[in-house]
Amino acid sequence: MNMKIQAGVVGATGYAGAELCRILTGHPSAELAAVSSVSFEGKRLSEIYPSYYQMCEPVCGKQEEVVEKSDVIFAALPHGLSQELAAECDAKGKVFIDLGADFRLESEEEYKEWYGNSFLDAALHEKAVYGLPELFRDQIRGKKLIANPGCYTTAVPMALYPALEAGLIEKDGIIADCKSGVTGAGRKMTQNTHYPELNEAFTAYKVAAHRHTPEMEQTLSKAAGAPVKLTFVPHLLPVNRGILATCYARLKDGVTMEELLRVYHARYDGEYFVRLLPQGRVADIKNVWYSNFCDVSLHMDPRTNTFVAISAIDNMVKGAAGQAVQNMNLAFGLDETEGLRLFPPAF
């Protein structure tokens, strides 16, 4: 009898879906049961990603096959496409982990405002839990509907949560200045990700208007115990992978670096995937590539009483597929680190 968790990926040929397949192939307690792709139905995954040849070769089938054959279904789909699939999985008692945005926001009004969609089933949304394990682990364990946060919405809260939770920074005037690798834009070609446009360029986009803003504010408000608003400015880096979040906040009067370090250590010591860097080190995307780690460095500008918290993650792993597998591990009662213990390469 096969005791491994049967895992299925809907949307397996997008970047996040393909990364899920790569990680799940090496998972000791799970195996790929089925994958689907609308664009590449009938093709092997290695035909789309040649590096997977003889290593990860599932044939892309239909979505219904994935649901039927799997204990856990990962949906690597654009927003607006997961709600009906989640309802089907819920009715069948399957674990559903959504890498899209359909279940991340608690407020339907905010979902309408930022994504232009409504909740199809409010009761189903009530069942959903927000899958950022280092902050909400107890709510995730054993659950069957998990909203998996994305890249910015992981990196920014991980940088700021302990300081807000401890009341060491002001809730007003927070700035999240973030940089992303181009895989964050997905596999579909757009003008700004076309090589001649992207190469040797560095630009901001969706300035103070990115739809991840309310999701970050939702998480940070939980930390503060009161509403938090932030200014979020994302930038596109001419690199494949990585998120660097440089976050600025005003310190409360009298707060010292020693106090900040104490609360960050209290929150993150013992967290396998969070590396709080020694003073003098600065978080760098190169040091987290291909891993599920989040590196955090803390800095202070005493002249302006400004706190600077910097986090670095791989947007395809901790910011997508790796975190989804971390959530699967929690949902099935496995060691949280299973299948995710590889550390970043040196170069």
Question: In terms of DSSP H, where are the helices of 61-212?
Answer: 63-69, 83-91, 108-115, 122-127, 133-140, 152-165, 195-198
Q: What are phi and psi of 322, to 5 degrees?
A: -65, -45
Catalytic residue among 21, 151, 178, 247: 151
CA distance 294 to 272: 10
- Token pair belonging to 102: 């359909």
Task: Give which of 84, 134, 73, 89 is closest to 275, Cα–Cα.
Answer: 134
pTM score of the predicted model: 0.96
More confident residue, 91 or 199: 91
C-alpha distances out from residue 130 to 61, 126, 138, 150, Å: 29, 11, 11, 11
Residues of the chain with CATH 3.40.50.720: 5-148+318-331
- pLDDT of 201: 86
Task: Give which of 192, 148, 174, 191 is closest to 317, Cα–Cα.
Answer: 148
- pLDDT of 1: 41
Terminal-residue alpha carbon distance, the chain: 42
pLDDT above 90 coverage of the chain, percent? 92
- Token pair belonging to 170: 């002001």
CATH architecture for residues 152-314: 2-Layer Sandwich (3.30)
- Token pair belonging to 67: 């649901």
- pLDDT of 30: 98
- pLDDT of 143: 97
Mean pLDDT of 169-187: 92
Number of Cβ within a 10 Å radius of residue 97: 29
- Token pair belonging to 47: 């035909």
Lowest mean pLDDT among 131-140, 169-178, 338-347: 338-347
Tens of pLDDT, residues 279-299: 999 999 999 999 999 999 999
Mean pLDDT of 163-172: 98
Place of tokens 């649901």: 67
CA distance 265 to 271: 10
Superfamily of chain region 5-148+318-331: NAD(P)-binding Rossmann-like Domain (3.40.50.720)
Tens of pLDDT, residues 191-246: 778 888 888 889 999 999 999 999 999 999 999 999 999 999 999 999 999 999 99
- pLDDT of 2: 58
Using DSSP's 3-state secondary structure scheme, residue 142 falls into coil
- Token pair belonging to 293: 């780690």
Task: Give which of 188, 66, 72 is closest to 131, Cα–Cα.
Answer: 72
Q: Residue 179: is it exposed, middle or buried by C-beta count within 10 angstroms (0-12/13-18/19+)?
A: buried
Tens of pLDDT, residues 27-83: 999 999 999 999 999 999 999 999 999 999 999 999 999 999 999 999 999 888 999
- Say whether pLDDT at 129 is over 70: yes
Identify whether 294 is a catalytic site residue.
Answer: no
Mean pLDDT of 137-161: 97
Q: At 99, which helix (H) or strand (E)?
A: none
C-alpha distances out from residue 37 to 20, 24, 31, 267, 294, Å: 14, 17, 18, 40, 30
- pLDDT of 316: 97
- pLDDT of 186: 77
DSSP 286-345: GGTTTSS-EEEEEEEETTTTEEEEEEEE-TTIIIIIHHHHHHHHHHTT--TTTT--PPPP
- Contact by Cβ (8 Å): 83, 102: yes
Using DSSP's 3-state secondary structure scheme, residue 134 falls into helix
Mean pLDDT of 139-154: 97
Neighbouring residues of 256: CB distance < 8 A, sequence distance ≥ 6: none
- Contact by Cβ (8 Å): 272, 342: no
Residues of the chain with CATH 3.30.360.10: 152-314
- pLDDT of 128: 98
Mean pLDDT of 10-38: 97
In eight-state DSSP terms, residue 146 is E
| Chain-centroid distance, C-alpha 190 | 22
Give the chain's mean pLDDT: 95
